[in-house]
Structure 1
Amino acid sequence: LYALPKPEIVTRWYEQTHDDFRFCFKFPATISHQAALRHCDDLSSEFFDRLAPLASRIGQYWLQLPATFGPRDLPALWQFLDGLPKDFTYGVEVRHPEFFAKGEAEQQLNRGLHERNVNRVILDSRPVHSAAATSPAMIDAQKKKPKVPVHAVMT
């Protein structure tokens, strides 16, 4: 989910799923990429308000950060996460190379997520990069998926 669904779509999703179904919605790019988690309280409120009819069916909200979001941006991540509704589970996917280098930046990230009971989303882009890009679709996929190691970390 990179844009807000229309209210009628949210209603349809509710009607088409059972009580035991769980959604995992991605925060819109307006929050994660354009605003870089800063000064986006109104955007976040709109996001949660729009998805409120599905609240009982939310498995986790997923925050996918761009590769430009690095260690110096962690204070913005902590402030953003600390301001989220406590009724839900959250996961964060990072793409900056320093968060995969097993150094201080990765330790700070994992520690901060653990302190907030937030999951670190595991990104495995190996299949996308395992073959030569010979088609426009494959070239596009390889451009969009970072080539980072898989770090299975429990936060």
Structure 2
Amino acid sequence: MEGNTTLYALPKPEVVLRWREQTTDDFRFCFKFPATISHQAALRHCDDLVTEFLTRMSPLAPRIGQYWLQLPATFGPRELPALWHFLDSLPGEFNYGVEVRHPQFFAKGEEEQTLNRGLHQRGVNRVILDSRPVHAARPHSEAIRDAQRKKT
């Protein structure tokens, strides 16, 4: 199950414990790193934030399928050294996935190849979200307009 809520806020400890109580041992979560790490800090100088997040989620450690790093569209090829440094600093006992949104990472050029090669070398999954259906919808409601803004 994708844990999208962790992108927006760190869950309270009692919520994490409730999630553990409500699931069986074979259930797997895929929690997103908080935006304070991926968006505001842009993966830089965020060791304390990462430690806080992983510590908070630790009651669910046996049920983590992967931790998911969703990067903003502004995070482009020039930022890859920060991504490599961040990924290399993470604990090795978990699986990780990275979702990029910068257009150059989808252009089938050297930038995309460099991204894919770096992820592969580190054993990190590439998460791909096809947001075209979201943008193809006519924005007849505030919910659709909001989704379109968030998926750029």
Using structure 2 for the length normalisation, give the TM-score: 0.94
Q: Which residue of 1 aligns with 2:120?
A: 114
Q: Displacement, 1:126?
A: 2.0
Q: Deviations over 1:10-56 (max 9, x none)?
A: 11111110000000000000000000000000000011111111000
Q: Displacement, 1:123?
A: 0.9
Q: Distance in 2 between matches of 1:65 and 1:131?
A: 23
Q: Displacement, 1:124?
A: 1.0
Q: Displacement, 1:139?
A: 1.1
List structure 1 segments (4+ residues) > 2 angstroms apart after TM superposition.
Answer: none
Q: Which residue of 1 aligns with 2:48?
A: 42
CA RMSD in angstroms, aligned pairs only: 0.8
Residue range with higher mean Cα deviation, 2-11 or 25-34: 2-11
**Residues 64-143 of structure 1 aligned to structure 2 (within 5 Å):** 64-143=70-149
Q: Which residue of 1 aligns with 2:26?
A: 20
Q: Distance in 2 between matches of 1:11 and 1:136?
A: 34
Gaps of 5+ in 1: 147-155
Q: How many residue pairs align between the two structures?
A: 146
More helix by share: 2
Q: Distance in 2 between matches of 1:143 and 1:10?
A: 29
Residue range with higher mean Cα deviation, 36-45 or 134-143: 134-143
Gaps of 5+ in 2: 1-5
Q: Distance in 1 between matches of 2:86 and 2:77?
A: 15
Q: Displacement, 1:132?
A: 1.4
Q: Displacement, 1:130?
A: 2.2
Q: Deviations over 1:125-150 (max 9, x none)?
A: 1221222111111111111113xxxx
Code of the aligned partner of 1:134: H
Using structure 1 for the length normalisation, give the TM-score: 0.92
